[in-house]
C-alpha cells in the first residue's frame, strides 16, 4: 500500500561497528519468514513481489537497517518474534 514504492529494494543490516550482517533483495517465500509473519501478525507479501524480508536472531545492541536500490518510497518494519 505504499505509493511510489521502490521497485527493487535491497535491505542491508549492519552492526554498530559498521560491519554488514546480511543483505537481501527480492522476496523469498521461506519457512522462517512465513513463520515470523504468522507469529507476529505482520502482513504477508504478495507472491512474486519485490519486497525484501529477513529473519535474524540479534544479541542486544545497536543495528542499522539500510534500504537502497533506486528512487522511491520504502517502509521498514521490525518485529520481535515470540
Give the model confidence (pLDDT) of 38-62 as tens digits.
999 888 877 777 788 889 999 999 9
The per-residue pLDDT for 62 is 96
Mean pLDDT of 60-69: 94
The answer to whether 63 and 21 are in contact (CB under 8 A) is yes
Rounded distance, CA 33 to CA 24, Å?
A: 12
The per-residue pLDDT for 65 is 95
pLDDT tens-digit map of 11-23: 999 999 999 999 9
Classify strands 63-68 and 10-15 as parallel, antiparallel or unpaired.
Answer: antiparallel
Helix (H) or strand (E) holding 23: strand 20-25
Cα angle 78, 80, 82 (rounded to 5 degrees) comes to 150
**Res 5 pLDDT > 90:** no
Amino acid at each position: 500500500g505504499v505509493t511510489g514504492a521502490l521497485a527493487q529494494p535491497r535491505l542491508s543490516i549492519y552492526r554498530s561497528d559498521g560491519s554488514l550482517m546480511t543483505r537481501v533483495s527480492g522476496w523469498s517465500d521461506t519457512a522462517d519468514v512465513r513463520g515470523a509473519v504468522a507469529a507476529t501478525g505482520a502482513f504477508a507479501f504478495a507472491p512474486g513481489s519485490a519486497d525484501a524480508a529477513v529473519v535474524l536472531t540479534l544479541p542486544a545492541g545497536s543495528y542499522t537497517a539500510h534500504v537502497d536500490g533506486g528512487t522511491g518510497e520504502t517502509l521498514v518494519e521490525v518485529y520481535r518474534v515470540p
